[in-house]
Amino acid sequence: MIPFLDLKAQYASIKTEIDAAVLGVLASAQYVLGDEVAALEREFADYCGAKHAIAVNTGTSALHLALLAAGVGPGDEVVTVPFTFVATASAICYTGATPVFVDVEPVTLTMDAAKLEAAITPRTKAIVPVHLYGQMANMDAIKAIADRHGVAVIEDACQAHGAEYKRHRAGSIGVSGCFSFYPGKNLGACGEGGIVVTSDDEHAKAIRMLRDWGQEQRYHHALKGFNYRMDGIQGAILRVKLRYLEDWTEARRAHARRYSSLLAEAANLETPVEAANRRHVYHVYAVRSRDRDGLQRALQAEGIQSGLHYPIPVHLQKAHADLGYLPGDFPQSEAAAREMLSLPIYPELTARQVEQVAAALRQDAYVD
Ligand SMILES: *Cc1c(COP(=O)(O)O)cnc(C)c1O
């Protein structure tokens, strides 16, 4: 069996350090925020090339607070893409604003900047590009349009720790960038976690207050805040893992190159493209096929797990039917939802496993 993800293998590889980190927090009794979380914030801000980082309890909370700090609220519109995890749109809804979708580019599956301007109205307060699968969106074009309209760009970098666009790290181009530390992400906690990075002092200050009941000083609540604090244990674990992130990312990239070369001749599927001037961190390695479901069955027959990211675009989700979108509104997102198949990819995957997955896919290609 080849699992889609193997978190036990990652834990086994660094068990001594993780166990020591957890025991350290237990002994310190700094269970919520505390020194380990503060150190993680400094180290992750450095990693992203940003001035500040504010750790929170989930990636969704990171998006929610980044939007609030940008002044997003009821009556506003926030432009994003429908081909993403539902949390991107949900975080916009939490603020009382309305998500407005633009379709994705056919190859990178990130926001199509050529369609962005038409979605901007006098109510638009922010744009949230999603660095899907670990590849950054076309940030120059998006930023130019945002600047022209005086609208904030908030990066949904929840899948893109360490990704780069023209040597700028994910999270460092917009006014803020939001990351998830959900266990399966490229940098994952042993539980939930998230973080916002920003180089704007005012945004950092607001986000820091909002995650902790809107207080700067205990029991003085200047803002209507939330309990979005990170656990001390997660902070300590994430600090250990952050030291391995570059090696893990290079391992993912090597697996991706190997997959792409082994699958180059497969007639019935397309492999992912790393766009020029970008560093793709392959949170997801997804192939594209008209016979996606057939390929998934062929893998399953060989005991190989695969995933669908994502089978239903957000504009067609029942939960967001109130937005009034219809099938056909975003053809690229809808086609991607039908055709994308995510293969196992994680640092601990072996070269032999990559070959087995590719062989199972090629077999199917020959039968067709
Ligand atoms: C994982 C993810 C989120 C949400 O992060 P959580 O930590 O699960 O709340 C948001 N957007 C994208 C694109 C994600 O992949």
Ligand 1 centroid distance, CA of 59 (Å): 5
Phi, then psi, of 300 in degrees rounded to 5? -60, -40
pLDDT digits (tens, 9 = 90+) for 214-233: 998 899 999 999 999 999 99
Judged against a pLDDT cut of 50, whether residue 270 lies above it is answered with yes
* Residue 177: strand, helix, or coil: strand
Q: Atom of ligand 1 at shortest distance to CA of 180?
A: 7
CA distance 138 to 127: 13
Residues 258 and 351: their CA atoms lie apart, in Å, by: 8
- For 321-356, write each residue's pLDDT tens digit: 999 999 999 999 999 999 999 999 999 999 999 999
- CB of 59 within 6 A of ligand 1: the answer is yes
- Report which protein residue has its CA nearest ligand 1's atom 6: 59
The answer to whether residue 368 scores a pLDDT higher than 50 is: no
Q: Across-strand partners of 127?
A: 79, 153
**Model confidence pLDDT, tens digit, residues 113-165:** 999 999 999 999 999 999 999 999 999 999 999 999 999 999 999 999 999 99
CATH topology of domain 245-362: Aspartate Aminotransferase, domain 1 (3.90.1150)
The CA 150 to ligand 1 mean position distance, Å, reads 26
- End-to-end, the C-alpha distance of the chain in Å comes to 24
pLDDT exceeding 90 applies to what percent of the chain? 97
Instruction: Return the pLDDT at 364.
Output: 53
Q: Whose CA is nearest to atom 14 of ligand 1?
A: 158
Pocket of ligand 1 contains residue 180 by CB under 6 Å: yes
**CATH code of the domain occupying 7-102+109-242:** 3.40.640.10
80 Cβ closer than 6 Å to some ligand 1 atom: no
Q: How many CB atoms lie within 10 A of CB 20?
A: 11
Pocket test for ligand 1, best of 93, 130, 182 (most atoms within 8 A of CB): 182
pLDDT at 363 (0 to 100): 75
Q: What are phi and psi of 342, to 5 degrees?
A: -90, 125
Q: Helix-strand-coil percent breakdown of the chain, rounded to 5?
A: 45, 15, 40
Residue 88 Cβ < 6 Å to ligand 1: yes
Ligand 1 atom showing the smallest separation from residue 181 Cα: 7
The torsion angle over the Cα atoms of residues 271, 277, 283 and 288, rounded to 10 degrees, is -20
**Cα 349 to Cα 45: distance, rounded to the nearest angstrom:** 29
Does ligand 1 come within 6 angstroms of the Cβ of 364? no
**For all residues of the chain together, what is the average pLDDT?**
97
CA angle, 146 then 148 then 150, to 5°: 65
Q: Where in the chain is the domain with CATH 3.40.640.10?
A: 7-102+109-242
Beta carbons within 8 Å of 131's beta carbon, 6+ residues apart? 110, 137, 155, 156, 157, 159, 160, 163, 170
β pairing state of 152-156 and 220-221: unpaired
Cα 313 to averaged position of ligand 1 atoms, centre (Å): 15
Longest CA–CA span in the chain (Å) reads 69
Which three-class secondary structure state does DSSP give residue 178?
strand
State which of 128, 159, 176, 228 you would mutate to test the pocket of ligand 1, scoring each by most atoms of that ligand within 8 A of its C-beta: 159
d(CA 133, CA 285): 7
Every domain of the chain with CATH number 3.90.1150.10 lies at: 245-362
